Amino acid sequence: MAVLYNRISSEELKQRMLQETEPRTTISFYHYFPIENPKEFRDFLYLNMDMLGVFGRIYVANEGINAQISVPSNNFEAFKTFLYSIEPLNGLRINIAVDDDGKSFWVLKIKVREKVVADGIDDPSFSMENKGKYVNAEQMNQLLEEKDTIVIDMRNHYEYEVGHFVNALEIPSDTFREQLPMAVDMMKGNEDKNIIMYCTGGIRCEKASAYMLHNGFKNVFHLEGGIINYAQQIKKEGLESRFIGKNFVFDNRLGERITEDVIAKCHQCGQPADSHTNCKNDGCHLLFIQCERCAAAYEGCCTEECQTIYNLPEEEQKKLREGIDKGNMVFNKAKARLRPRLNSD
């Protein structure tokens, strides 16, 4: 019987990936379509992708699929052939990473979820069949020039902080499920204006566009393939980038540079910086922005306290970590209570 789960430690798998000499390509894709038996579909995907050497994170639900993965470059065409052999995914757009060394993932994880994007929508009349109009990079730039256009960023604060479209509105919340009703409330009175929604790869803004239409908005658009596809298109077509800074990504890279603009600041010293890192203290792992100078001074930690713990013997660190629930230590507005932990001198 085939093994459909990983049985090797994550750390060992990571070291194996780092020692690979064969190049890899980081890609992402999603598609909303009905899946009658997500568990069966999950196992089918795992069996075939594991044989192709795929690493990454894939979510499967009754409503569709969402994937961020890396594929050995010499298996890329074989991977596409397999993916396109699945009828609803035939010809699906695949987003290829912009700033990529192929070291984005080191294990294959395919999970069944209730939804591929947790949205909190419980209205049975809501349907993904009625969604906003796709816009490509050229159309996006044109719409941004019109005075009746409002552009909404459907990502989290830590993503928006390092890069966003010019004049984009931020929805100040941790979660997509909270952002949807907030976007509706923020846009009341603008039902007849052009509303463009965007996100990293397209999956969140596509659902958000359907939700806005469901709530009475008329001229709703969403950026096809998200920022990743936009960046590829402007490069290919020689267009001006209206997105400035970095595009945050949810893999080992934590970001891909779109323009040279650095619009964020180091959370420790306040100097221009846009490199996210996780605090090296295993009892913290806070995600925050740190410049090179502070990274050296604090040894990759978010505070002197964490730095002290980081330098303790491993057994002492383990004792201190007992009973600690790190949760999702994301540095964003709703986690403002964590900010006093970061030095500002």
> CATH number of the domain that 200 lies in?
3.40.250.10
Q: How far apart are CA 302 and CA 6, in angstroms?
A: 32
Residues 79, 35 share a domain: yes
Q: Where are the alpha helices (H) located in 298-342, listed in sequence order?
A: 304-310, 314-321
Q: How far apart are CA 223 and CA 165, in angstroms?
A: 11
In this predicted structure, what is the pLDDT of residue 65? 95
pTM: predicted TM-score of the whole model, two decimal places: 0.75
Q: Which residues pair with 309 in a beta bridge?
A: none
Residues 201, 107 share a domain: no
- What average pLDDT does the segment 190-213 reach? 92
Residues 137, 104 share a domain: no
In this predicted structure, what is the pLDDT of residue 341? 42
Amino acid at 294: C
Residues 231, 195 share a domain: yes
In this predicted structure, what is the pLDDT of residue 170? 94
Q: How far apart are CA 43 and CA 111, in angstroms?
A: 10
The count of domains in the chain is 3
Residues 52, 22 share a domain: yes
Share of the chain above pLDDT 70, in %: 85
In this predicted structure, what is the pLDDT of residue 252? 67
Element (H, E) at 165: strand 163-165
Share of the chain above pLDDT 90, in %: 61
Three-state secondary-structure class, residue 3: coil
Q: Where a domain ends, among 185, 214, 237?
A: 237
Active site residues: 199
Residues 210, 176 share a domain: yes
Q: Which residues pair with 28 in a beta bridge?
A: 68, 95
Residue 24 forms part of a structural domain:
yes
Residue 2 forms part of a structural domain:
no
Residue 307 forms part of a structural domain:
yes
In this predicted structure, what is the pLDDT of residue 249? 77
Residue 286 forms part of a structural domain:
yes
In this predicted structure, what is the pLDDT of residue 327? 47
Residue 35 forms part of a structural domain:
yes
Tell me the residue range of the domain where 337 lies: 276-341
In this predicted structure, what is the pLDDT of residue 304? 94
Residue 1: pLDDT above 70? no
What is the pairing mode between strands 108-112 and 55-61? parallel
In this predicted structure, what is the pLDDT of residue 123? 87
Q: What mean pLDDT, rounded, does the chain reach?
A: 86
CB 264 within 8 A of CB 236: no
In this predicted structure, what is the pLDDT of residue 265? 95
In this predicted structure, what is the pLDDT of residue 19? 56
Residues 152, 105 share a domain: no
Q: How far apart are CA 267 and CA 258, in angstroms?
A: 21
Residues 226, 139 share a domain: yes
In this predicted structure, what is the pLDDT of residue 335? 41
- What average pLDDT does the segment 254-265 reach? 90
User: For residue 252, how many other CB atoms are within 10 A of its CB?
Assistant: 15
In this predicted structure, what is the pLDDT of residue 328? 46
CB 212 within 8 A of CB 194: no
In this predicted structure, what is the pLDDT of residue 100? 62
Residues 91, 55 share a domain: yes
DSSP assignment string, 123-153: -TT--TTS-PEEE-HHHHHHHHTSTTEEEEE
Residues 144, 228 share a domain: yes
pLDDT (tens digit per residue) in 142-185: 999 998 899 999 998 889 999 999 999 999 887 899 999 999 99
Residues 230, 168 share a domain: yes
Q: How far apart are CA 180 and CA 206, in angstroms?
A: 12
Residue 123 forms part of a structural domain:
no
Residue 13: pLDDT above 80? no
- Lowest-confidence range among 90-94, 127-131, 248-252, 265-269? 248-252
In terms of phi and psi (left: phi > 0; alpha: psi -120 to 50; beta: otherwise), the region of 288 is: beta
Residues 83, 25 share a domain: yes
Residue 200: pLDDT above 60? yes
Residue 127 forms part of a structural domain:
no
> CATH number of the domain that 40 lies in?
3.30.70.100
In this predicted structure, what is the pLDDT of residue 261? 95
Residue 242 forms part of a structural domain:
no
